[in-house]
Amino acid sequence: MHQKKKRYKMWLTIIGLTIALIWLSPFYLMIVNAFKTKFDIFNNVLALPEAFTLDNFKQAYIDLDFLNALTNSLIVSVSSILIIIIFSSMAAYALSRNKSRLSGGIFLIFVAAMLIPFQSVMIPLISIFGKVNMLNTSGLIFMYLGFGSSLSIFLYHGAVKGIPVSLDEAAMIDGASRWTIFWKIIFPMLKPITMTVMILNVIWIWNDYLLPSLVLSQAYATIPLRMFFFFGQYTKQWHLALAGLTLAIIPVILIYFFAQKHIIKGVADGAVK
Amino acid sequence: MTNKNISFWLFILPALFALSVVVFYPFLYGFYYTFTDWNGLTATTFLGFENYIKVFQDESFTDAIWFTIKFAIVSIILVNIIGLGLAVLVTQKMKINNGLRTIFFMPNLIGGLILGFIWQFIFKSGFDAVGRLLDLEFLQGWLATTETGFWGLVILNVWQYAGYIMIIYISYLQSVPEELLEAAEIDGASVFQRFWRIKFPLVAPAFTVSLFLTLSNAFKLYDQNLALTNGGPYGSTEMLAMEIYQTAFSRYEMAFAQSKAVIFFILVAAVAVTQVYWNKKREVDM
């Protein structure tokens, strides 16, 4: 029995490792070929490079305007997520504590908005924001609040319900205002769900291509946007394109490496609720 | 907090304002203009339902609908089978479990655009190299035909989302009580019996979540489509989201594109509502 179990486990491990290798193979091909010369890629795609070259990365770094793109991505993502967290948690708190029909109706409106796909509002949205000269970084951040608030409010709403109202009432008797109660007592207790909201929104906003491509001009382009222009320039030159792609992925993989447990938990909590 | 409290309104105002300005107002505004000859700036004539009639006569749009539906069906089946398989694999007691989970989930952190470009290289150069090495003809010339473009999109989508769906199945699998499985094992139930008879029924609610997610993902797919095939060859792998984009921003037929966008909304919303309703009903029946 024991022997049989051990063998079973060994086979499982072998199967697991094989699938993992298949899963990673696209990244392997991307990375090894990013270090090859154009000629070397043409000759052998699968093997390791004959001579490692960093020239591709140097060129890609310059052509991607990488530091600038990274800064733009950081500005957009950090500001959007900050305002999504602040305003969604506040709204969810108020909607959850107010038991009236009107409040329930407003909550339902937020949830229902999740049914509207982006492409269904994209054209008029761009037209309207263009008319008021808001097709820029601040306009984009505001749009992210609009698109991101639904799911975030939904998640926060569930979490606030789990916090007893007696806490609010006790603070109220002590003369605390709603503002103080929320930020001093309630918000700190929402930390786990804030993590989830943050992770889900970071993954979405950091990687978003379509919305920024309609809103931002070249100088303010985020990483995915810049990547698109860059790739268009180098369609037949895989050595440069692959080096650029590798560069673009590095920040994400670094963060994943340090926070993978939180990220996977956040995604699971967000999807299941 | 009641409706009369000013603090209630102040707390919800910023989010409600953003949602209204970004989602609801454009949606209604766009809907109104689908009945006109709107060009993105102005409209001169009222057309009634003319745009909508044209939508269903537009072959480019109906082709995109069929392509998207075919893609959605194949993707849903494969993503869920493989996602569930991976979840079962990494919930066995193995030392490398966490490592495997991390690897399978990884593609989801990277944007669809970047993944699409990476896979373009894999299909065009990687597949080609393996095909020449092993003398397999079907691995050569990928993405050059509608057929290989379709399967290219499916493979990319399965590779990306299976790890995501895996995470959902894992959280349900882990809620299966350990004592139940042990008791069954003592009673002589095999690995397969334990899976089909105990785990599978208890994991049923996960299907609601997973099917819904894969389906709406498949319908809204844009970045991967753009980066991998860009609709080619000759627009034959253009999915719904891309077809709408092209009508608006390449052909500048704004009112027409918005009419397609409204039909798109009805499709996506109908699928979502039906699915949630159907799954809730089935869960209760069980």
| Complete domains list, chain A, with CATH | 2-53 (no CATH), 57-272 (1.10.3720.10)
Distance of CA A190 to the CA centre of its chain: 20
Q: Give A87 to chain B, closest Cα distance, Å.
A: 6
Nearest of A82, A30, A78 to residue A206 by alpha carbon: A78
Identify the DSSP state of A48: P
Residue-wise pLDDT for A30-66, tens only, equals: 999 999 988 888 888 888 888 888 999 999 999 999 9
Q: Do B108 and A267 touch (CB under 8 A)?
A: yes
The answer to whether B227 and A244 are in contact (CB under 8 A) is no
Q: Is A102 at the interface with chain B, CB within 8 A?
A: yes
Q: Give B53 to chain A, closest Cα distance, Å.
A: 18
Backbone angles phi, psi at B46, to 5 degrees: -90, 130
> Which among A8, A9, A120, A155 is the top mutation candidate for probing chain B, defined by the most B β-carbons within 10 Å of its own β-carbon?
A120
Token pair for residue B240?
């719904």
Residue B104 is nearest to which of A23, A90, A113, comparing CB atoms?
A: A23
Which residues from A are below 8 Å from B105, CB to CB?
260, 263-264, 267
pLDDT for the residue numbered B211: 84
pLDDT for the residue numbered A4: 80
Q: Which residue has the higher pLDDT, A6 or A30?
A: A30
Amino acid at A145: L
Q: Is B11 at the interface with chain A, CB within 8 A?
A: yes
> Which among A8, A86, A127 is the top mutation candidate for probing chain B, defined by the most B β-carbons within 10 Å of its own β-carbon?
A127
Distances, alpha carbon A173 to alpha carbons A183, B11, B82, B213, B252, in Å: 17, 21, 55, 45, 61
Q: Do A178 and B1 touch (CB under 8 A)?
A: yes
Which residues 192-231 of chain A have a CB within 8 Å of chain B?
203, 206-210, 214, 224, 227-228, 231
Q: Give A46 to chain B, closest Cα distance, Å.
A: 7
Nearest of B25, B67, B235 to residue A120 by alpha carbon: B25
Residue-wise pLDDT for A172-201, tens only, equals: 999 999 999 999 999 999 999 999 999 999
> Which among A17, A45, A103 is the top mutation candidate for probing chain B, defined by the most B β-carbons within 10 Å of its own β-carbon?
A45
pLDDT for the residue numbered B243: 96
Q: Is B95 at the interface with chain A, CB within 8 A?
A: yes
Chain B residue with CA closest to A106: the answer is: B16
Q: Do B90 and A203 touch (CB under 8 A)?
A: no
Q: Give B8 to chain A, closest Cα distance, Å.
A: 6
pLDDT for the residue numbered B282: 66
Chain A residue with CA closest to B259: the answer is: A120
pLDDT for the residue numbered B204: 79
Residue B15 is nearest to which of A91, A179, A272, comparing CB atoms?
A: A91
Q: How far apart are the first and last CA of chain A?
A: 41
The answer to whether A113 and A153 are in contact (CB under 8 A) is no
The answer to whether B11 and A90 are in contact (CB under 8 A) is yes
Burial of B87 (0-12, 13-18, 19+ CB in 10 A): buried
Q: Do B27 and A124 touch (CB under 8 A)?
A: yes
Residue-wise pLDDT for B38-88, tens only, equals: 998 888 889 999 999 999 999 999 999 999 999 999 999 999 999 999 999
pTM here is 0.92
Count A/B contacts: CB-CB distance under 8 Å: 264
The answer to whether A193 and A159 are in contact (CB under 8 A) is yes
Residue-wise pLDDT for A53-102, tens only, equals: 899 999 999 999 999 999 999 999 999 999 999 999 999 999 999 999 99
Mapping DSSP to helix (H, G, I), strand (E, B) and coil, where does residue A19 land?
helix
Give the C-alpha separation, B235 to B243, whole Å: 9
Nearest of A109, A106, A126, A128 to residue A118 by alpha carbon: A126
Give the C-alpha separation, A113 to A106, whole Å: 11
Reported as type and span, the H/E element at residue B188 is none
Give the C-alpha separation, B10 to A110, whole Å: 16
Q: Is B274 at the interface with chain A, CB within 8 A?
A: no
* pLDDT classification of A1: cutoffs 50, 70, 90: low
Per-residue pLDDT of chain B (286 residues; tens, 9 = 90+): 778 789 999 999 999 999 999 999 999 999 999 999 999 888 888 999 999 999 999 999 999 999 999 999 999 999 999 999 999 999 888 889 999 999 999 999 999 999 999 999 999 999 999 999 999 989 998 999 999 999 999 999 999 999 999 999 998 888 888 888 888 888 888 888 887 888 778 787 788 778 878 888 889 999 999 999 999 898 899 999 999 999 999 999 999 999 999 999 999 898 888 877 876 776 655 5
* pLDDT classification of A151: cutoffs 50, 70, 90: very high
Q: Is A67 at the interface with chain B, CB within 8 A?
A: no
**Superfamily of the domain at B33-285:** MetI-like (1.10.3720.10)
Residue A94 is nearest to which of B1, B209, B257, comparing CB atoms?
A: B1
Domain coordinates in residue numbering, chain B: 33-285
> Which among B2, B51, B109 is the top mutation candidate for probing chain A, defined by the most A β-carbons within 10 Å of its own β-carbon?
B109
Which residues from A are below 8 Å from B223, CB to CB?
209-210, 224
Q: Do B92 and A268 touch (CB under 8 A)?
A: no
Nearest of A147, A123, A206 to residue B18 by alpha carbon: A147
Which residues 35-54 of chain A have a CB within 8 Å of chain B?
41, 44-46
The number of helices, as runs of H, and strands, as runs of E, in chain B is 14, 0
Residue-wise pLDDT for A234-261, tens only, equals: 877 899 999 999 999 999 999 998 888 8
